[in-house]
Amino acid sequence: MGEKSSAKSGKGVGIFVTFCAMFLFWLLLSGILDPIHVGAGIICSAIIAFVSHDLLVTQKWDKMLRKSGRFIIYVVWELWQILLANFDVAYRVLHPKMPIDPLVIEFDTSLRSDLAIVTLANSITLTPGTITINIDQEKGRFQVHAIAHKPADALLVDKTMQQKVAKVFMEE
């Protein structure tokens, strides 16, 4: 019984989302806001939403919305990490002793989907001081060049970036 009520609520939400999209599209195209045109737009949008809601909103809509929300939060976090890494690299370059100790590290990840692996690889490369060299997708093995041990430890020990990407793509 739980699956039926979930499917019904999913269908209702699908109809509602499709109706809203169609009605907004109607308003944008018509540009006329008198009661007759708005009423006709409501009726037409409702009919279209009822007949074709499954074309716009699939059964997996809630998972897609959660992933999108998590991805937005991840992007904000990643931008913060990029800013912090910029300061770290600037410090290393401007310091009189230049505390740069480049190394190549390898680590395994539990991520398996193409999008999750690409997101992690790009996040590593976008963060100053680290660059993704190679990925063996079948084994989930990454090779990364790091400017020093601190950025490397963030990938090897903390694994915060991997965990956040796994959370976004629900591979936890």
User: Rg of the chain's alpha carbons, rounded to an integer?
Assistant: 24
Contact 161, 155 (CB under 8 A): yes
Q: Is 70 in the same domain as 139?
A: yes
Question: 78 and 21, same structural domain?
Answer: no
Take residue 95 and report the two structure tokens written for it.
């310091």
State percent of the chain over pLDDT 70: 90
Residues 52 and 69 in one domain: no
Q: In the chain, where do the E strands start and end?
A: 103-108, 130-136, 141-146
In degrees and rounded to multiples of 5, residue 35 shows phi and psi of: -60, -35
Q: Whole domain around residue 112: which residue ranges?
A: 64-168
pLDDT in tens, 106-132: 999 999 999 899 999 999 999 999 999
Check residue 52 and give its pLDDT.
Answer: 83
Q: Looking at the 3D structure of the chain, how many domains does it have?
A: 2
CB 58 within 8 A of CB 17: no
Indicate whether 68 and 145 sit together in one domain: yes
* Residue carrying the six token digits 């999750």: 116
Q: What is the pLDDT of residues 84-110, one digit of tens each?
A: 999 999 999 999 999 999 999 999 999
